[in-house]
Structures are given as structure tokens and as C-alpha cells.
């Protein structure tokens, strides 16, 4: 019988662990989220972009409450924990005290849109020089997959088992499109982590948002669509396509506003 | 007010400053000069981004006490357990604040806080001038509550009356402080017809009536 991996001698190169591939700003150890979750890829894109842009030694993250909160002890980035939805206000205070720092918030759709919508709207309207990042999976993943204000019509959640119905549940909020018209907003984009191409596009969006902050052009916002097969009650492998077919057809991907580009 | 901010800064702990409806609707001259309470501890916990990428990034979180690579890793349960020690330290280092008047030989002490305490203080002065042996006690800090001071102030008193314009919020603290002695509520809810105006019960004449009635019913003063 043919053996593809010879075991009668030491391997030509030593075995590599997941940590060997982790970017420098992620501390050794595994994340604790479900298989197929879209959030770790988004988190990785954020810290990789911070490092690539040379912001490492002046970056502070303000975290909301959700599954992604569990990333906070595993990052070699300063983190301040906010209460549900209040991250943009904490980020405002931090940025005003340390105007040369790079401040980003990491929030979910439940945190930002359901629990603290006014915080992000006022922060955007004031034109605060911070970057808000919203991981949008359309459910309250951490508490078990309940409907949020961004759940798309027809989407099954724990409390919309027949699919979200506009008559019964109202219409979803398009966060990126809602914030973009505000004068204080410099950059708005929506990406996704359902495939390598979209992760690459999302990294470029993050670069645009962080550059807007660094150049003190105003508020920047990146919404990232992420998979939540657990909360969506579907097979893990189906989640990337589900995201593409159901979510991205309503929450359209792309750069929605780039004030510098528009005036240039 | 400045002390509240100083203590919050010193202990890295929220200090709640309680107001009442009157405070929101009246104004008077106050001294806004800065009060020096001494030096504050160094803020080596503060975030400015400088520790990111060093392998020892700081974290300020109510649920994740340390980073997972911290030299001394603290989990949430341990953090909550040690919070109890911190509270004990704060309680030891903070003096309860209070105000009292003519309690030394009082047959009856009226306990009140906030704006009603001002009216009570005035009325007690008036009743004293008439010869009634009445005192007043005003807790300034709700926590630590001036329990020992209240017990000392009411040592000679046979009656303890609690005047507060609500359904009874401080009376439980007073009863916990004086233990086996009965503290009686002589206040209560008071609304005007609009529902959000000033309390019609809060006048010196009406407060004096309540204190006289309380003293008579508890067997003290004239009419006993």
C-alpha cells in the first residue's frame, strides 16, 4: 500500500501550528467562536490592516458586546470594553483625549443598530475622527440567533421562524446607506468575509477608512457582512453562499462614500 | 461635588452624585473654586495606543480583566472575588459624611436628606427656640452610610422620625443603623396637581405640624 506521508523518518520541515500563520497582533491561542463564523476573518483583516498601515503603536480598539468581544484578550492591541452599543461614545472620548491615536470600534449589528443606534448616528453626525466597524450577520449571534434590525426580509431567525416579514417585523435598516449622507462622514463601505475575494475587498475598505481617520477627514464606517451558520440554522458549508444570496442582495457591497475621492 | 470626582478618580470606581427635583429647578450662588484633595495615583492603566504591538497591550474591560498572555492571568471569577476586597478598602478609607444639629439632649431626632433636610433643619431650629427638645440629622453620603454617627446622635432620643418625600427609601438604612429601635416615617409622597411641580407638603409650616404630631404621638413634648 502506498503511503503518501512517510512516517519512517522525521518530516522534511517541522509541523506548523495555526499560530505560525497568525498575524503579529494576534496573540498565540485559538479563538472561541463557532466553526464557519465569519468574524475571525474580519478581525484578522482589521489588525492586519492596522499593522500594514504602521498604526500599531497608536491604535486602541473599543469593543461592543457580542461574540467578537471574546477576541479582546487575544489581541496585542489596546482594548477598551464598552457597554452594549456605547462604543462610538467611548471612542469619541478616547480620540479627543489622544487626537493622534487611531481609534476603531468593533460592534455587531445587534450592538450597533438595535442597542445603541443613536450613539453611532451622533458620532457620525459630529464628524468624529474615529472608525466604526460593524460586523453584520443579521442575528444576535451571542444570545442564540434572534432577529436584529438588519435581518433581511425572509431571513429565518430564532424569533422569525417563517422568515422576517415586513408587516409583522418592519423593514431592516441599511446602516451604511443611512450614515453616508451625513456631512460629518468621510468614508463608508460595506464588505464581507464569505470568500477570499471579498475579504481582500474588505481589507481595501478598511484601508480607506483608517486612512480617512489618519488624515483627520472625519467619521469612517465599514460594515462587514459575516456568516453565522449557528444563528442562521444552516449547515456550516452553506453559510458563505447564503450570505451572498440572501444578505448581500439587500445589503449591497461596495464603497458607498469616499469624501476625499469625491472632492479630488 | 469635587470630592465625588476625586474619589472616583482615586479608586477607579464610579461615584454616584444624587440630585433631586428641587436641585433641577432652583439656582443659587455656589463657590466653584478648586479644592485640593492631594495627589492622585498614576494612571498607568490609561489607553493611548502606545502599548499596542509590544506584547503587553493594556486592556480596560469589565468582563475580560487581562489579556490571555498576561504574566498574571486573571479570570472573571477571580476578578469578581477580588472586587470585594477593593470595596472593603474603599469603605475603610472613606469617612461617612453627615450633618447634625441639637441632638445632644434631644428627646426626638428627625432624619432627613437632600432638599427636605434644609426645611427640616430650619423647622428644628424654630421648634428648639420654642423649647422643644428636638434634633436633626442629615446623612450626606449614602454609602458609606453614617450609621455609627446616627446611633451616637440618637443615643438620648426616645423617638426617631424619618422625613423623606417618597414612599420610603432611606428609612431602611436608618432602621439598619439603629437596629432594635423603631424609626417612624413622618414624610411621604407629595405631588401637586400637575404631577411634576414642587411638593406642596414641603413648607416649614407643614413640616413643623408633622414633627409636632410625631412628638405628641410618641409621648414627648407638650400635649403628651
Do B201 and B157 fall within a single domain?
yes
Please indicate whether, in this complex, the C-beta atoms of B69 and A77 are within 8 angstroms of each other: no
- For residue A1, name the pLDDT band (cuts at 50, 70, 90): low
Distances in Å between the Cα of A88 and the Cα atoms of A42, A94, B48, B195 are: 19, 10, 16, 36
Q: Is A104 left (phi over 0), alpha (psi -120 to 50) or beta?
A: beta
Chain B residues in contact with A67 (beta carbon < 8 A):
none
For A257, the 3-state DSSP assignment is strand
- CATH number of the domain within which B174 lies: 3.40.50.920
Residue with cell 423603631: B182
Locate the chain A residue with the closest alpha carbon to B62: A81
Are residues B116 and B81 part of one domain?
Answer: no
Q: B151: phi > 0 → left, psi -120 to 50 → alpha, else beta; which?
A: alpha
- Kindly state whether residues B73 and B162 are assigned to the same domain: no
Last residue of a domain, one of B62, B93, B124: B93
The strand ranges marked E within chain B are: 59-60, 98-101, 108-111, 134-139, 159-162, 183-185
A23 touches chain B (CB under 8 A): no
> How many helices, marked H, and strands, marked E, lie in chain B?
7, 6
The pLDDT, as a whole number, for residue B220 is: 65
Per-residue model confidence as pLDDT tens digits over B171-212: 999 999 998 788 999 998 888 888 777 788 899 999 999 999
Interface confidence: ipTM more than 0.95: no
In a domain, B88, yes or no: yes
Are B107 and B65 within one domain?
A: no
**Is B9 among the domain residues?**
no
Structural domains of chain B, count: 2
- Asked if B103 and B212 sit in the same domain, the reply is yes
Site from A65, A67, A79 to mutate, B interface, most B CB atoms within 10 angstroms: A79
**Do B159 and B65 have their domain in common?**
no
List CB contacts (< 8 A) between B57 and chain A: 75-79
Share of chain B above pLDDT 70, in %: 98
Cell reading at B29: 450662588
pLDDT score for A2: 64
Report chain A's mean pLDDT, rounded to a whole number.
94
Contact B52, A57 (CB under 8 A): yes
Last residue in a domain, options B61, B93, B125: B93
Q: Smallest CA–CA separation between A236 and chain B, in Å?
A: 28
B133-173 pLDDT tens trace? 999 999 999 999 999 999 999 998 999 999 999 899 999 99
Determine which helix (DSSP H) or strand (DSSP E) holds B143, and give its type and residue range: none
- Count other C-beta atoms under 10 Å from residue A90's C-beta: 23
Q: Cα separation of A190 and A225, whole Å?
A: 7
Report, as an integer, the average pLDDT of A220-238. 96
> Do residues B130 and B207 both lie within one domain?
yes
CA of B47: which chain A residue's CA is closest?
A78
Residue A263 binned pLDDT confidence (cut-offs 50, 70, 90) = low
- Provide mean pLDDT across the span B50-71: 92
CA B134, CA B161: separation in Å to the nearest integer?
Answer: 10
User: Residue A36: what pLDDT?
Assistant: 95
Residue A116: per-residue pLDDT? 95
Using only C-alpha atoms, what is the Rg of chain A?
19
Question: What is the C-alpha to C-alpha distance for residues A77 and B59, in angstroms, rounded to an integer?
Answer: 8
Q: Which residues of B touch A76 (CB under 8 A)?
A: 52-55, 57, 67, 69
- What's the domain range around B184? 98-217
**Would B123 be classed as within a structural domain?**
yes
Distances (CA, A) of B215 to A139, B51, B129, B185: 63, 65, 16, 12
User: How close, in Å, is residue A91 to chain B by CA atoms?
Assistant: 11
Q: Do B53 and A56 touch (CB under 8 A)?
A: yes
Distance of residue B63 Cα from the nearest chain A Cα, in angstroms: 8
Do both B102 and B207 map to the same domain? yes
Alpha-carbon distance of B60 to B56, in angstroms, equals 13
CB contact under 8 A, B63 and A81: yes
Query: Is B212 in the same domain as B135?
Result: yes
Could you say which of B48, B50, B64 has the minimum Cβ distance to residue A81? B64
- Residue B108 located in a structural domain: yes
Domain boundary residue, one of B37, B58, B93: B93
CB of A29 within 8 Å of any CB in chain B?
yes
Q: How many CB atoms lie within 10 A of CB B119?
A: 20
CA dist A229 and A235 (Å) reads: 6
Interchain proximity B59–A78, CB inside 8 Å: yes
* B198 and B109 in a common domain: yes
CB–CB of A76 and B52 under 8 A? yes
Whether the per-residue pLDDT at A249 is higher than 70: the answer is: yes
* CA dist list (Å): B79 to B7, B58, B83: 21, 16, 6
Contact A172, A245 (CB under 8 A): no
Assess whether B161 and B175 both reside in one domain: yes
Would residue B208 count as lying in a domain? yes
**Beta carbons of B48 and A60 less than 8 Å apart:** yes
Residue B147 shares a structural domain with residue B129:
yes
The residue-averaged pLDDT of A98-120 equals 97
Residue among A120, A133, A24, A31 at smallest CA distance from A72: A31
User: pLDDT of B92-136, one tens digit each?
Assistant: 999 999 999 999 999 999 999 999 999 999 999 999 999 999 999
pLDDT in tens, A16-65: 777 778 889 999 888 889 999 999 999 999 999 999 999 999 999 999 99
Amino acid at each position: 500500500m502506498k503511503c503518501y506521508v512517510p512516517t519512517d523518518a522525521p518530516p522534511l520541515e517541522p509541523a506548523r501550528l495555526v499560530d505560525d500563520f497568525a498575524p503579529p497582533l494576534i496573540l498565540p491561542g485559538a479563538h472561541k467562536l463557532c466553526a464557519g463564523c465569519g468574524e475571525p476573518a474580519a478581525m484578522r483583516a482589521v489588525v492586519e490592516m492596522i499593522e500594514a498601515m504602521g498604526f500599531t503603536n497608536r491604535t486602541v480598539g473599543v469593543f461592543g458586546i457580542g461574540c467578537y468581544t471574546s477576541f479582546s484578550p487575544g489581541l496585542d492591541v489596546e482594548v477598551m470594553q464598552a457597554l452594549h452599543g456605547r462604543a462610538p461614545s467611548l471612542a469619541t472620548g478616547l480620540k479627543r483625549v489622544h487626537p493622534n491615536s487611531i481609534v476603531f470600534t468593533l460592534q455587531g449589528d445587534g450592538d450597533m443598530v438595535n442597542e445603541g443606534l443613536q450613539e453611532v448616528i451622533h458620532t457620525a453626525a459630529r464628524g468624529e475622527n474615529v472608525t466604526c466597524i460593524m460586523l453584520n450577520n443579521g442575528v444576535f449571534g451571542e444570545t442564540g440567533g434572534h432577529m436584529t434590525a438588519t435581518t433581511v426580509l425572509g431571513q429565518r431567525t430564532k424569533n422569525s421562524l417563517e422568515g422576517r416579514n415586513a408587516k409583522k417585523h418592519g423593514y431592516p435598516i441599511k446602516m451604511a446607506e443611512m450614515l453616508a449622507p451625513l456631512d460629518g462622514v468621510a468614508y463608508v463601505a460595506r464588505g464581507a468575509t464569505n470568500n477570499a475575494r471579498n475579504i481582500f475587498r474588505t481589507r481595501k475598505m478598511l484601508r480607506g477608512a483608517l486612512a480617512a481617520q489618519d488624515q483627520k477627514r472625519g467619521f469612517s464606517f465599514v460594515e462587514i457582512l459575516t456568516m453565522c451558520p449557528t444563528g442562521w440554522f444552516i449547515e456550516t458549508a452553506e453559510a458563505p453562499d447564503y450570505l451572498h444570496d440572501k444578505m448581500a442582495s439587500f445589503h449591497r457591497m461596495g464603497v458607498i462614500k469616499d469624501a476625499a475621492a469625491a472632492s479630488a | 461635588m469635587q470630592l465625588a470626582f476625586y474619589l472616583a478618580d482615586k479608586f477607579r470606581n464610579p461615584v454616584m452624585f444624587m440630585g433631586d427635583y428641587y436641585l433641577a429647578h432652583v439656582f443659587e450662588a455656589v463657590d466653584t473654586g478648586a479644592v485640593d484633595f492631594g495627589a492622585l495615583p498614576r494612571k498607568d492603566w490609561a489607553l493611548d495606543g502606545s502599548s499596542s504591538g509590544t506584547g503587553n497591550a493594556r486592556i480596560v474591560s469589565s468582563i475580560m480583566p487581562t489579556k490571555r498572555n498576561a504574566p498574571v492571568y486573571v479570570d472573571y471569577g477571580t476578578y469578581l472575588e477580588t472586587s470585594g476586597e477593593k470595596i472593603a478598602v474603599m469603605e475603610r478609607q472613606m469617612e461617612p459624611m453627615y450633618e447634625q444639629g441639637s441632638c445632644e439632649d434631644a428627646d426626638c431626632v428627625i432624619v432627613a436628606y437632600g432638599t427636605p433636610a434644609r426645611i427640616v433643619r430650619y423647622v428644628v431650629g424654630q421648634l428648639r427656640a420654642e423649647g422643644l427638645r428636638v434634633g436633626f440629622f442629615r446623612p450626606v453620603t449614602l454609602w458609606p452610610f453614617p450609621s455609627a454617627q446616627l446611633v451616637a446622635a440618637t443615643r438620648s432620643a426616645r423617638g426617631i422620625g424619618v422625613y423623606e418625600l417618597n414612599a420610603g427609601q432611606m428609612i431602611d438604612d436608618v432602621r439598619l443603623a439603629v437596629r432594635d429601635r423603631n424609626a417612624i416615617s413622618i414624610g411621604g409622597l407629595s405631588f401637586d396637581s400637575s404631577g411634576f411641580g414642587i411638593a406642596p407638603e414641603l413648607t416649614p409650616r407643614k413640616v413643623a405640624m408633622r414633627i409636632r404630631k410625631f412628638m405628641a404621638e410618641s409621648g414627648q413634648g407638650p400635649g403628651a
